[in-house]
Structure 1
Amino acid sequence: MSFRIPSRWAPYFLVSPFLILFAVFGLFPLVFSAWLAFQSWEPTSGIEAMKFVGFDNFAFALTDGWFWKSLRNTLWLAIATGVPQHLVAIPLAVFLHRSFGRWRGVFSGAYFLPYITSTVAIAMLFGSLFSTDYGLVNQALHAMFGTENINWMRSPEAIKPAVAIIVFWRYVGFNLVLYLAALQTIPNDLYQAAKLDGAGPWQQFLRITLPGIKPMILFGVTLSIIGGLQLFEEPFILTNGKGGADQAAMTVAMYLYRLAFDFSDFGGASALAWIMFAIIALLTWLTNKAFADKQVQA
Structure 2
Amino acid sequence: MRWPGRAGHCFVAAYVVLLIAFGLVPTGYAIYFAFTDAGGSFTGLSNFTAAASDFRFGSAIAHVTLYLLWWLASLVVFVVGLALLLQRMALRGVSRALRFLYYVPGALAGAAGVLVWLFVLDPTVSPVGFLLEALGYHSFGEVIAPGQLPILFTLIAFWTGAGGWIVVMYGALNNISPDVLEAARIDGAGPWQSAWRIQIPLLRKWIVYMVILTFAGGTQLFVEPQLLSQASVGVAGRDYSLNQLAYDFAFQNNDVNTAAAVSVELLVVGVAVAGVFVARSGFFDAD
TM range (shorter): 0.7 to 0.9
1:38 corresponds to which residue? 35
For residues 106-185 of structure 1, what are the structure 2 equivalents within 5 Å?
A: 106-131=97-122, 133-143=124-134, 145-146=135-136, 148-149=138-139, 151-152=141-142, 155-185=145-175
CA contact (8 A) 1:256 1:272 kept: yes
For residues 1-298 of structure 1, what are the structure 2 equivalents within 5 Å?
A: 23-41=20-38, 49-101=39-91, 103-131=94-122, 133-143=124-134, 145-146=135-136, 148-149=138-139, 151-152=141-142, 155-240=145-230, 244-245=234-235, 247=237, 250-292=240-282
CA contact (8 A) 1:108 1:177 kept: yes
Q: How many residues align?
A: 277
Q: For residue 269 of structure 1, report the CA deviation from its aligned partner.
A: 0.8
For residues 229 and 44 of structure 2, the distance between their equivalents in structure 1, rounded to whole angstroms, comes to: 35
CA contact (8 A) 1:218 1:287 kept: yes
Q: Any stretches of 5+ residues in structure 1 without a counterpart? A: 1-6, 42-48
Q: Any stretches of 5+ residues in structure 2 without a counterpart? A: none
CA contact (8 A) 1:81 1:164 kept: yes
CA contact (8 A) 2:57 2:242 kept: yes
User: Partner letter of residue 38 of structure 1?
Assistant: F
CA 1:206–1:118 in 2, change beyond 3 Å: closer, same or farther?
Answer: closer
- SS at the partner of 1:247? coil
User: Could you state the TM-score of these two structures normalised by the residue count of structure 1?
Assistant: 0.81
For residues 18 and 190 of structure 1, the distance between their equivalents in structure 2, rounded to whole angstroms, comes to: 37
For residues 127 and 49 of structure 2, the distance between their equivalents in structure 1, rounded to whole angstroms, comes to: 46
Instruction: State percent identity of aligned pairs.
Output: 24
CA 1:65–1:185 in 2, change beyond 3 Å: closer, same or farther?
Answer: same
CA contact (8 A) 2:249 2:256 kept: yes
For residues 290 and 200 of structure 1, the distance between their equivalents in structure 2, rounded to whole angstroms, comes to: 30
For residues 180 and 91 of structure 1, the distance between their equivalents in structure 2, rounded to whole angstroms, comes to: 10
User: Partner letter of residue 244 of structure 2?
Assistant: M
User: Partner letter of residue 71 of structure 2?
Assistant: T
- SS at the partner of 2:282? helix
Higher mean alpha-carbon deviation, 176-185 vs 154-163, is at 154-163
User: Could you state the TM-score of these two structures normalised by the residue count of structure 2?
Assistant: 0.84
- SS at the partner of 1:135? coil
- SS at the partner of 2:230? coil
- SS at the partner of 1:54? coil
Larger radius of gyration: 1
User: Partner letter of residue 107 of structure 1?
Assistant: L
For residues 177 and 280 of structure 1, the distance between their equivalents in structure 2, rounded to whole angstroms, comes to: 25
Q: Note the aligned Cα RMSD (angstroms).
A: 3.1
